Structure 1
Amino acid sequence: MVKSPNLFVVGAPRCGTTSLFAALKQHPDVYASVLKEPHFHAPDLPAQPHTVSDPDDYARLFAAAGEQRIRAEASVWYLYSHEAPVRIAQAHPDARIVVLLRNPAEMAISLYELYLRTGNEADIDPESALLRTRQTRFDTSYFPFGLHYLHLLDFATPLARWRERFPGERLRVVLFDEFYRAPEAGFRALSDWLGIDPHAPISFDAKRAREAVRMTAMKQLRDLPEHLRRKLNPNASRLHAGKASAAIPEALRTRLRDHAREVNAGFAAAAGRAWPEAW
């Protein structure tokens, strides 16, 4: 019997989910999908090259899971999906949800810089790109939803949708700055919440983390059919870790921060914690 996932890291993009997932992969009590972002439960969002839409293919991502307490995937755009919280609550009633967040203005800027590198974003003027309205249409983008940066600054509205389906301790909001200021302590706290060994040896060094899970990842890949293996982009980590590629005026950062504060009036209720003063 194939075991289904029971831990979903649902976002937000550019908020440290890749590093957290690399840590989860190293934990002996966790089985992590070798394809990090299948986005299977978000059919209301545009499909990306790595999206898995077939139920049998999604099940294959967890087919090799053993007796690990946690089976995890991390699809960062689930946060903004209307369907994902409903579908996950129905299909995986025992699931827990982790949301990583950072200053939304810095998240949007980082996403814009990433999309310039990957070719999803064509506008090299950061002001016109980051302040565009949702009426803008795109002909050459592979993921147009991600280009509406102003819309993405709103964390409170999507968080409320998730909180409705996953109340109380079933949903945990983690702040990027707090977690990565002391990642070992942050991961121990997360492990306690998940009911797994908080003292398992975990490295937050990217190279060591890759080496620690290399053999497991190779076995997972061997068990996948070719069409699923092709969804893994070996260049993705290099692109995601690349240097900033745009000069962002400070006045634009201020406008984005001000807008984020305005649209997140309901953040405290949805997140279960106050809006950080540093944001």
Structure 2
Amino acid sequence: MIGPNFLGIGAQKSGTTWIYENLSCHPHVRFPGGKEIHFWNARRDLGVTWWLDQFGPRQPGLRSGEITPAYATVDTDTIHAIHELCPDLRLFYVLRNPIDRAWSAARMAVLRAEMTLDEASEHWFLDHFRSAGSRRRGAYGEAIQRWRSVFPAEQLMVALFDDLQAQPRAFLSRLCGHIGIEAGFYEAVPEEALRRAVFTGPSAPLPPPLRRALIDQYGEAVETLGHLLRIDLSHWLAEP
């Protein structure tokens, strides 16, 4: 069979580069097309054969894939197309507090706009938070429901960025089990190496007025997501 064994579908600013760097070190994992191929969200004009050829034939004992956070936002028809090609794909989706995710993404957008954080006004940040792109990236519950409507729930591992930060070794162990590789490789990796941040943007505290705006924006969605996953996510909405 030709094609990937796994796909990481997001979320943006939720540790996907850290996952890529650590999985890339595993002797039984391959990313032949690099971390993000962006075929399903931006390059479909190249044809599905092109995408499948990025991975080539599957090899016993090896797992190949990509991690493109934008895939969390694709529509149901696209997910059906992916399932038709690779119905046994193992999928994973890492969720970060949408307030922190939105603030992190906005800070990165400031740099791309060739501004400093001081030059970006409160209004500029509010516009970014409310943009269709930012809201779509933070619509975790909707994304989970779309992917679960096509793929069996057991093929989609949903994890929290909080757990990645708190227990990186345990997080990798769970991920390895999900995609079908041995986690023992990471037992020899020093704890400080596992906790090393990868691809961090400029740090800055979230101003209280902007935090309140994001709490208002995401409060209902966080509550709904908690019910969907059957976990308490109220700490995401707490004031620091």
1:256 aligned onto 2:205: no
| Equivalent in the alignment of 1:93 | 87
Partner amino acid, structure 2, of 1:256: L
Partner amino acid, structure 2, of 1:59: L
Q: Tell me, in whole angstroms, the C-alpha distance in 2 between the residues paired with 1:251 and 1:184.
A: 36
Deviation at 1:175, TM superposition (A): 0.4
Which structure 1 residue ranges, 4+ long, deviate > 4 Å from structure 2? Answer: 120-124, 133-136
Deviation at 1:54, TM superposition (A): 1.7
| Equivalent in the alignment of 2:71 | 78
1:40 aligned onto 2:39: yes
Q: Which runs of 5+ in 2 are unaligned?
A: none
Percent identical pairs in the alignment equals 25
Q: Tell me, in whole angstroms, the C-alpha distance in 2 between the residues paired with 1:120 and 1:168.
A: 42
* 1:206-232, Cα deviation, whole Å (9 max, x unpaired): 8x9xxxxxxxxxxxxxxxxxxxxxxxx
| Aligned with 2:176 (options 191, 206, 214) | 191
Q: Tell me, in whole angstroms, the C-alpha distance in 2 between the residues paired with 1:81 and 1:247.
A: 31
Return closer, same or farther for 1:276/1:8 CA change in 2, 3 Å cut-off: same
Q: Tell me, in whole angstroms, the C-alpha distance in 2 between the residues paired with 1:35 and 1:111.
A: 22
Partner amino acid, structure 2, of 1:78: Y
Q: Tell me, in whole angstroms, the C-alpha distance in 2 between the residues paired with 1:135 and 1:20.
A: 28
Deviation at 1:61, TM superposition (A): 2.3
Q: Which runs of 5+ in 1 are unaligned?
A: 137-144, 209-236
Q: Tell me, in whole angstroms, the C-alpha distance in 2 between the residues paired with 1:135 and 1:191.
A: 36
| Aligned with 1:161 (options 123, 130, 146) | 146
Q: Tell me, in whole angstroms, the C-alpha distance in 2 between the residues paired with 1:113 and 1:134.
A: 11
| Equivalent in the alignment of 2:6 | 7
Q: From the two aligned structures, give the one with the greater helix fraction.
A: 2
**Helix, strand or coil: the match of 2:30?**
strand
Q: Tell me, in whole angstroms, the C-alpha distance in 2 between the residues paired with 1:121 and 1:12.
A: 25
Q: Tell me, in whole angstroms, the C-alpha distance in 2 between the residues paired with 1:126 and 1:64.
A: 51
Partner amino acid, structure 2, of 1:100: V
Q: Is the 8 A contact 1:154 1:264 kept in 2?
A: no
Taking structure 2 as the reference length, the TM-score comes to 0.80
| Equivalent in the alignment of 1:59 | 52
Deviation at 1:190, TM superposition (A): 1.8
Q: Is the 8 A contact 2:4 2:52 kept in 1?
A: no
Taking structure 1 as the reference length, the TM-score comes to 0.70
Q: Tell me, in whole angstroms, the C-alpha distance in 2 between the residues paired with 1:134 and 1:253.
A: 11
- 1:172-211 equivalent positions in 2, closer than 5 A: 172-201=157-186, 203=189, 205=193
Please tell me the root mean square deviation across aligned C-alpha atoms, in Å: 3.2
Deviation at 1:73, TM superposition (A): 0.4
Partner amino acid, structure 2, of 1:274: I
Q: Tell me, in whole angstroms, the C-alpha distance in 2 between the residues paired with 1:118 and 1:110.
A: 13
